[in-house]
Amino acid sequence: MFTPSYARLHEQGLLSDRAATALEQLRECRLCPRACGVDRTRGGSGFCRTGRHAKAASFGAHFGEEAPLVGSHGSGTIFFSSCNLLCTFCQNSDISHGAEGVEVGPREIAGMMLDLAGRGCHNINFVTPSHVVPQILEALVIAADAGLDLPLVYNTGGYDAVETLRLLEGVFDIYMPDFKFWDPEPAQAFCRAPDYRDAACNAILEMHRQVGDLVMDDRGIARSGLLVRHLVMPGGLAGTQDVMRFLAEQVSRHTYVNVMDQYHPCHRAGKDPRIDRRITAVEYEDALDAARRAGIHRLDDRKRITVRML
């Protein structure tokens, strides 16, 4: 019988200690690589524009995630407002840039988790969690008290601090980071994060150290491990070849990777001609070939519809 990692921590009385440690870090916030240093307990907010309490935009059973997360009853997603990256091409800009949503306390977040569990979801999937790790942990204590027993998914843009991730060891069973960019120039141009590659590499190595390769049960449902997403960008701007080589050579050849083809110009993408178009079928096939050449063999195989451009 599957038992989520946090259940063991909770039984040992350590989960509440993790939450307390994380909440204390809000006083001089360096939860993510932005290291803003603001006191979020007294109304301060840095790059993520989030104070003491998280904001949630929506929650529900989601069937658009990767097959190992969705299964038959969906992935129980909680979408947090704002973000620590704020990509210029964000496809959820109303939530990230617009910060749509309502402020929620720990009991409200715990209630969302328990509601999703009651619907039969296979996991609790926290979308854009990097800036609200303390708020998630304090809510998890309440949910675990109430009997939550689903694996947790850390669904992140990949711009995470190793020190924060270490607070989550033994809490999250599944890490699902993006690896957006290899080169500093596009990372700066589109995310104002020239250090993105270094941060993402270090974060993914730490995630894999904690949970290893993706493990699924006999129904094909993910129970633990690492799943990496990589969005193919026009003109090779994402640096797919280097990303795949890093995953294969420094993380694991068995890394489960979703090479995504759904890029389309959103938000302010039209202001930069480099990204003001969809990718071509050839660009996408080249990205898949790059993954295979690097040695990545666990590629998400959902059927895709790719727009062909002349």
Over residues 28-47, the pLDDT tens digits come to: 999 999 999 999 999 999 99
Averaged over 1-17, what is the pLDDT?
Answer: 94
* C-alpha–C-alpha distance, residues 148 and 161, integer Å: 27
Q: Is the pLDDT score of 303 beyond 80?
A: no
- The encoded tokens of residue 4 equal 């989520």
66-98 confidence digits (pLDDT tens): 999 999 999 999 999 999 999 999 999 999 999
The string over 73-102, giving b where at least 16 C-beta atoms fall within 10 Å of a residue's C-beta and e elsewhere, is: ebbbbbbbbbbbbbbbbbbbbebbbebbbe
What proportion of the chain, given as a percentage, has pLDDT over 90? 96
What is the spatial distance between Cα 240 and Cα 282, in angstroms, rounded to a whole number?
A: 14
Q: Residue 302: what pLDDT?
A: 63
Domain ranges of the chain: 5-299
- The average pLDDT across 144-154 equals 98
List pLDDT tens digits, range 210-250: 999 999 999 999 999 999 999 999 999 999 999 999 999 99
Looking at domain 5-299, its CATH architecture is Alpha-Beta Barrel (3.20)
Instruction: Tell me the β-bridge partners of 257.
Output: 228, 299
Q: Quick: pLDDT tens for 254-276.
A: 999 999 999 999 999 999 999 99
Provide the 8-state DSSP code for 155.
Answer: E
The residue type at 266: C
Question: Is pLDDT of 187 > 60?
Answer: yes
Rounded mean pLDDT, 131-149? 98
